[in-house]
Structure 1
Amino acid sequence: MDSEIKKSGRLVVSIVSHGHGACVIDLINDLRQFSGNSVDRVVVTLNVPGETLDLPGGASSAWPFQLQVRRNERPLGFGANHNRALADAGEEFVCVLNPDIRLTADPFEALVHCAAQPGVGCAYPVQLNVDGTVQDSERALPTPVALWQRRALGRGEKRVDWVNAACLVLPLAVWRQLQGFDERYFMYCEDVDLSLRIRLAGFKLVRAPVSLVHEAQRGSGRSLRHLAWHVRSLRRLWCSPVYRDARKLPPLEAAPASGAVRS
C-alpha cells in the first residue's frame, strides 16, 4: 500500500482518520468517482493504533490517484498528522481534507485554480450541512466576547477572519513557507492560527465557487476531553503574537447568510 512517494503532480490530499474508517472509505470512493482527474495522490493517516482500513476491492484495486496509507504507533495531534503526511510533498498544491467530507462533484479543479492566482495563500469551498444549508465555516476572530455572543446568545458571524480546516488547498510554496500547522495546538485552533498566519504573511484566503458536504462532528460540545483541548488551545491562541497581530487585520468580508446552495 505504501508505494514509492510521488514527487511531481498537481495536488496531494491528506486525510487523517481518528477511528473514522467508514467515513474515510466513503470519502475515498467519492474522490475516485468525482476527482480522479484532479487529485494526483491521497495520503491517509490512521491515527489510532490498531486501526484498520477495509478498502473496497482491497489494496490491489486500481485507483485513479496514488493512494498511500500510513499508520501511527501512537496518536498525534491534528496538525502534526497533516504536517507529516505532507512533509515529502512534491506536488504543486496540498490539500487538508476532513474524513467527514462528502463530495457530490469535483471541487478540486476550481480550488486549485483559485489557489494558483497571484497573492492567494489558501482556497476553500463553501461547506454545506447534510440538509443543504450553508455551514458556518467562515468565522470571526474568536475573541472572548465573540465566543460568548456566539455560544450563549446564538449570534451569527458578522465578519470573516479565518476559515476552518475541513477542506483547504494551499500552494506548496506557501505551505512550506509557513511550515504547515503549528503543532503546539494538539487539536482545535490550529486552523485559526494557520488562517491568521497566511494573512499576516501577506497572502489572501479565497472562497472558491464550489461546495461540498461537511458532516461536522462538533466533538467539543459532547466530550469533556475535547472541551478541555478546545479551552487549552484557545488560551494558547489568545496568548500568541499571531493573535495579537491579527487583531489589527481588517475582516475579509461579511459572512454569507445561511441558506440552500447547490453543489
Structure 2
Amino acid sequence: MDSEITIPRRLAVSVVSHGHGECVVDLINDLKKFSGQSVDRVIVTLNLPGETIDLSPEPHSAWPFLLQIRRNAHPLGFGENHNRALADAREDCVCVLNPDIRLTADPFAALVDCASQPGVGCSYPEQLDVDGQVQDSERALPTPVALWQRRALGHGEKRVDWVNAACLVLPTAVWKQLQGFDERYFMYCEDVDLSLRIRLAGWTLVKAPVSLIHEAQRRSGRSLNHLFWHVRSLLRLWSSSVYRQARRLPPLAQAPGATRGAVHP
C-alpha cells in the first residue's frame, strides 16, 4: 500500500505598516527565523507615502517565503489594506498580523491546523505583553453598558464574543466568502465586525495552543484622531445589522479572567 502523502497547508500573511518600519523589520526577521516552514508568502503594505523599510537580504532573495512589498500612494484604512493585500490569495489560509507582534517560536503551524478543522472560521493565539502577562485580546460584545463597566468601573470581561485582529488566521474560503474586512470601518471595530460575521455565518473562533508577544500601543486614549475614529466606528457598529443579530449569539466561553485556559466553542 502506498504511504499517505501529506500536502502542506500554505499560508499568506498580511502586515500593514503605518510608520512601523523598525517593528516590521523585526517581525519579518522573526518570521524568517521561526516560521520559514509554515509561511508561504508575506505581503507588507507600506501605508504612508514615502515610507521605506530596510530589509537584508533584499526582498527577492534568500527569504524562506515569498516577500512582497506594496506601497500606497495615500493612506488607506486598516481593513482596506488587508483586503487589497489578500485579494489574490491562493493559499489555503490567510493571516492578518500586526507589525508590533514578536515571535519566540513558530505559532503558525498550530494556527493553520486549528483554522483547517471543520466548522472553524478563524483561529488565534494567546497574546502576551513584553513582561509575559496575558493580554485581554478576547472581548465581550462592546455594548454601551459593557464599555462603561470596562472603562469607568474597571470591570474585566465576563464573556468572549470576539477577538482582536493582532493575529488572526482564517481559511481562505472563509475570508473570501465574507469578503474580508468591512472597509467602512477605517480603523477600530473592524475586528469586532469580522468576528461577529464569522460566527453569524455558522463558524466558530478557536484559540490555538500557542502564544506570541504583542507590543500593543493603544492610541485612542491619547490621540484625538484615534479617539474620533474609535467613536465613529463604535457608532457604525451599534447601528449595524451585524451588531443587532450578534446580540442574540451565545458567548464562546467565559472570559479568561473567570476561567483560565483556551477558548473553545
TM-score by length of 2: 0.93
Greater CA drift, 8-17 or 76-85? 8-17
CA deviation digits over 1:86-134, x for unaligned, max 9? 0000001000000000000000000000000000000000000111010
Q: Who is 1:219 aligned against? A: 219
Aligned to 1:143: 143
Secondary structure of the residue aligned to 1:220 is: coil
Letter in 1 for 2:62: A
Q: Which residue identity does 1:230 align to in structure 2?
A: H
- Counterpart check, 1:126 vs 2:126: yes
Runs of 4+ aligned structure 1 residues displaced above 4 Å come to 258-261
Using the aligned pairs only, state the percent identity. 79
Question: Matched residues in 2 for 1:35 and 1:257: separation?
Answer: 30
**Equivalence for 1:237:** 237
Tell whether 2:15 aligns with 1:15: yes
Cα distance in 1 for partners of 2:190, 2:85 equals: 16
Separation in structure 1 between the aligned mates of residue 252 and residue 259 of structure 2, nearest angstrom: 20
Name the structure 1 match of 2:58. 58
Checking the alignment, whether the CA contact within 8 Å between 1:132 and 1:260 is kept in structure 2 is no
2:106 equivalent in structure 1: 106
Match of 1:176 in 2: 176
Q: Is the Cα–Cα contact under 8 Å of residues 12 and 93 in structure 2 kept in the other structure?
A: yes
Q: Give the letter aligned to residue 218 of structure 1.
A: R
Residue 222 of structure 1 and its aligned partner are, at CA, apart by 1.4
Q: Aligned-residue CA RMSD in angstroms?
A: 1.6
Task: Find the aligned partners of 1:54 and 1:193 in 2 and give their Cα distance.
Answer: 34
CA distance in 2, matches of 1:63, 1:129: 28
Q: Is the 8 A contact 2:57 2:63 kept in 1?
A: no
| SS of residue in 1 equivalent to 2:237 | helix
C-alpha change, 1:214 and 1:260, in structure 2 (3 Å) is farther
Contact in 2 for aligned 1:93/1:169 (Cα 8 Å): yes
- Runs of 5+ in structure 2 lacking a partner? 1-7
- Deviations along 1:194-221, one digit per CA (max 9) or x if unpaired, are 0000000000100000000001110111
**Partner Cα separation in structure 1 for residue 60 and residue 171 of structure 2:** 31
Match for 1:154: what amino acid? G
CA distance in 1, matches of 2:45, 2:221: 25
Number of aligned positions between the proteins: 254
